[in-house]
Amino acid sequence: MFPLSVILDHHQDQKVKNMTFKTVLSRENRQAGTPVPPVGQASLPGSSPVGQASLPGKEGRETHFLSSITGPAGARLAMTGRVRPRRAMLILTVAGFALFLNPIPSSGADFQDTNARMREMAGAAIFFGDEVLAKAKELKPGEKFTIDENGDGDPDILIFNDNDPKHTIQPILVKVIDEDDDMKSDAEGDTDSDCWVADWYGDGVIDCVVDYEDKDGDNDVDLLVLYDKDFYGRTIAIVCEDHGDDNRLWYTRNYAYDQPGCQWLSDFNGDELFCMYDFDVQTGELFPKFENPFCFYDIDGDQCSEIAIRFSGEDRETNFLRYSFDVDNDAKKGNPHDYDFSFNCEGAALIPPDVITMPRFRHGKARNGHIAWEKGRETANAMTWKKNMFIWDEADNTANPADEVEKHHERWEGVGGYRLPKCNFRREYDADFSGKYMLYWWPIDGRLHQFGAEHGELYVDYNFDGKEDMVFFYKDTNEDGYFDVFQVDLDADGSIDREFQDERLPVVNVSIENYENLHSFYVNQLKKTLKANREVIEAMKTVMGRREPTRIEEWFTRTMPKEYHAAKTLASSLEAKRYYQDMTREVLFAELRRFLADQGRPLSPEEIAVYGRGEYEAFAELSGKLK
């Protein structure tokens, strides 16, 4: 019912433990879940926006700042929806949470209070009534009839037996309420302002309500509210807002959202927002919970989001934030989700009241609203957390390799949304959130890093066989917020093959607040790094007289196109090419050192330092003199 978008990949000392699987065989045996306490503590400071040029640099270290336009430029679980009736359900229980992967629909016998709750949320108009329901039960698949409630000669209510092949439940009796009085005599409902009500099996229980609203009067949908039930029978509402006016929101089947059948057909792109609302049976109020909210931002108007922010919490408290960026802006039609890095923050932050918008439900009253889409980036940028893990997708492919369908789709949730593999994702840990969301460019490896991170690592599995092939380690030994030690374990055997200590090299501080500046800086640096890598790789091969490719080059250029399911994705990605260049360069540098030592001409400490500082073009020129 809810998009499955809880990140299970926390800091190394908080990794998921005690993962168990349970199979629930009957709806009668459902048990209520265990409430989850807030994680950590955090606060919302009243300070200036993150990204000002005020970070301290190491004494003697030249610190530059990439200028930006400042200002508002801006774990709880999410559960999936019903898929098929009367089937066993797989529950993945992780650290006290339960992920519902294949939920089962309810019936009147299971949840006797369903209609009462639906009435409190969506009002009395959604019900068929005994006489209409009895007539509807006589309909054959595809048949329909209409009701003219106000006697004006045109239909106001459409009743039909939905036989759309996309549905997995039959029969589904549907009531369409024409709320903008534009239903014609041919009796077709629309999805700009009408309300669609679904009764699975025709048992009189209202299972789902999909309410469309045209808020600006242009005869297309701007808001969708889905009234549904979670696995425990608790009634919920999902608010989906179309801020980009592309007239696409959530896709449903059986008039519900289920993750496997709907996620790749839903519009988690462009300028969009959705928020989950639970129903408090004690007060009769709806309140935001789980994804609270999930915001998508299309900076350049190409209908592909460059930024995705997932606030996770309950009511006005947020316990977890995933803040993802498509920094190279390479998402496009056919691959609409291509996020590169994310901040994954834990703590507990209160949402200020001036950023909240109150949704309007058909009948129910909201106790608290959610963060307005227009305020999402501003609010995220101002939050202070207990800790943060920065994740970069080095292979430029966030698809879930464990799922036969999902492995062909990069994640719409950002860098996260399923348990990320250990390898090919760089992780950096800021245990006290001292670096906020500030990044910096480090010349030693030519990458953007998380300011304030105490350490980081990148485990490499270049051929995706599940085995570690190489490891890069990062350390901040003097606690100034910048890495100063870079280590390489060439064969992932636990021993360091190369280490370079930062010689107070200049860094460039980079703010996330202005996306255009961030994107421009990164792409320019990426192109420079690709060029420098090519030159130094060729130079080292020339010195050694090597013509055959390294094992990494062999896999990337010859084996990958034949064997790897995401070969086209990697081959077309500048990020991925650079990643494989870096691996190749390190292998060749180690070979070059051995080769020259065997020739009686080992590299001097200064020559090694040129390479260590990331001055690859200079080292390529130097290598030309070694032949």
DSSP line for 233-293: S-EEEEEEEESS--S-----BTTB--HHHHGGGS--SSSEEEEEEEEETTTTEEEEEEEEE
Half-sphere exposure of 561 (CA within 13 A, CB side): 6
Q: What is the pLDDT of residues 506-547, one digit of tens each?
A: 999 999 999 999 999 999 999 999 999 999 999 999 999 999
Bigger pLDDT: 232 vs 18: 232
Prior bond of 56 cis (ω within 30°)? no
CA 478 to chain centre: 33
According to DSSP, the β-strands at 285-297 and 307-314 are antiparallel
Q: Cβ(427)–Cβ(459) under 8 Å?
A: no
Measure the CA–CA gap between 556 and 584, rounded to whole angstroms: 11
Beta bridge partners of 310: 294, 322
Q: What are phi and psi of 336, to 5 degrees?
A: -75, -10
Kind and range of the H or E run holding 576: helix 574-598
The residue that leads in pLDDT, 169 or 90, is 169
Map residue 32 onto helix, strand or coil. Answer: coil
Q: What is the pLDDT of residue 494?
A: 96
Instruction: Tell whether the torsion through CA atoms of 152, 153, 154 and 157 is positive or negative.
Output: positive
pLDDT, tens digit, for every residue of 85-97?
322 333 333 333 3
pLDDT band at 4 (very low <50, low <70, confident <90, very high): very low
CA angle 241, 246, 248 (to 5 degrees): 60
Nearest 5°: phi and psi at 305? Answer: -75, 135
The confidence score (pLDDT) of residue 63 equals 52
Express each pLDDT in 207-250 by its tens digit.
Answer: 999 999 998 888 889 999 999 987 677 789 999 999 998 989 99
> b/e map of 364-389 (b: 16 or more CB within 10 Å)?
bebbbbbbbbbbbbbbbbbbebbbbb
> In sequence order, what are the residues at sequence separation of 6 or more whose Cβ sits closer than 8 angstroms to the Cβ of residue 480?
56, 57, 58, 61
In contact, 207 and 198? CB cutoff 8 Å: yes
Residue 627 is predicted with a pLDDT of: 66
Do 325 and 559 meet the contact criterion of CB atoms below 8 Å apart? Answer: no
List Cα–Cα distances, 97 to 17, 33, 91, 503, 607, in angstroms.
11, 8, 10, 46, 54
- Rg of the chain over Cα atoms, rounded to whole angstroms, equals 28
Q: CA angle at residue 512 from 511 to 518, to 5 degrees? A: 85
Q: What is the arithmetic mean of pLDDT over 395-404? A: 89
Least confidently predicted of 256-270, 422-436, 485-499, 585-599? 256-270
pTM, two decimals, is 0.83
pLDDT value of position 230: 76
Query: And the tokens for 68?
Result: 């930006």
Residue 473 pLDDT exceeds 90: yes
**Residue 276 CA neighbour count, 13 Å, CB half:** 29
Q: What share of the chain is helix, strand, coil (3-state, %, to 5)?
A: 20, 25, 50
What amino acid is encoded at 161 in this protein? N
Express each pLDDT in 474-484 by its tens digit: 999 999 999 99
β-strands 485-489, 470-475 pairing: antiparallel
164 vs 168: CA distance, rounded Å:
9
Write the single-letter amino acid at 213. Answer: E
3-state class (DSSP) for residue 415: coil
Sign of torsion over alpha carbons 484, 488, 492, 495: negative
**417 compared with 326, residue with greater pLDDT:** 326
Mean pLDDT of the chain: 83
Write b or e for each residue in 206-241: b if 16 or more Cβ atoms lie within 10 A of its Cβ, otherwise e: bbbbbbbbbeeeeebbbbbbbbbbbbebbbbbbbbb
Q: How many residues does the chain have?
A: 627
